[in-house]
């Protein structure tokens, strides 16, 4: 059974930084394409960033370009989201998502394409 466990959320001031982690277990991590999504109160869950399983291609939402960076570490089966220059509008519950694929280049921002989800971690940015 695949499990995704997020950590690293918290309260930070505007302009601050946080690094979210998502530990993956249960299947071969190297064959998972990974992504981060977020959901603010009263809003739909939205795409933040994605990375293919070979780690050589990433996608970022326009709202986080230049501020957030997704990465992965095969040695620890972990995907990260480094968040810099945080803004109050980044406040949300952040979710890690995974898709098992045999295509090393596969990557997508579409929420319906991901099969596995973590429980979420809260990020709050104060003004």
Decide if 80 contacts 30 (C-beta within 8 A). no
> How do residues 69-106 score in pLDDT, each as one tens digit?
999 999 999 999 999 999 999 999 999 999 999 999 99
Q: What is each CA distance from 62 to 27, 97, 118, in whole angstroms?
A: 31, 19, 23
Q: How confident is the model at residue 29 (pLDDT cuts 50, 70, 90)?
A: confident
Cα R_g (the chain), whole angstroms: 14
Mean local confidence (pLDDT), 34-59: 96
Q: Which residues pair with 126 in a beta bridge?
A: 13
- For 41, counting Cβ atoms within 10 Å of its Cβ (0-12 exposed, 13-18 middle, 19+ buried), the class is exposed
pLDDT tops 80 at residue 30: no
């Amino acid at each position: 059974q695949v499990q995704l466990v997020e950590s690293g959320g918290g309260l930070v001031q505007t302009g601050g930084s946080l690094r979210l982690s998502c530990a993956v277990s249960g299947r071969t991590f190297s064959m998972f394409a990974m992504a981060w999504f977020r959901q603010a109160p009263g809003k739909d869950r939205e795409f933040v960033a994605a990375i293919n399983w070979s780690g050589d291609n990433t996608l970022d939402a326009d709202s986080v370009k230049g501020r957030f960076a997704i990465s992965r570490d095969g040695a620890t089966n972990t995907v990260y989201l480094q968040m810099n220059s945080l803004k109050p509008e980044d406040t949300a519950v952040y979710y890690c998502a995974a898709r098992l694929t045999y295509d090393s280049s596969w990557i997508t921002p579409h929420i319906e394409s991901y099969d596995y989800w973590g429980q979420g971690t809260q990020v709050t940015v104060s003004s």
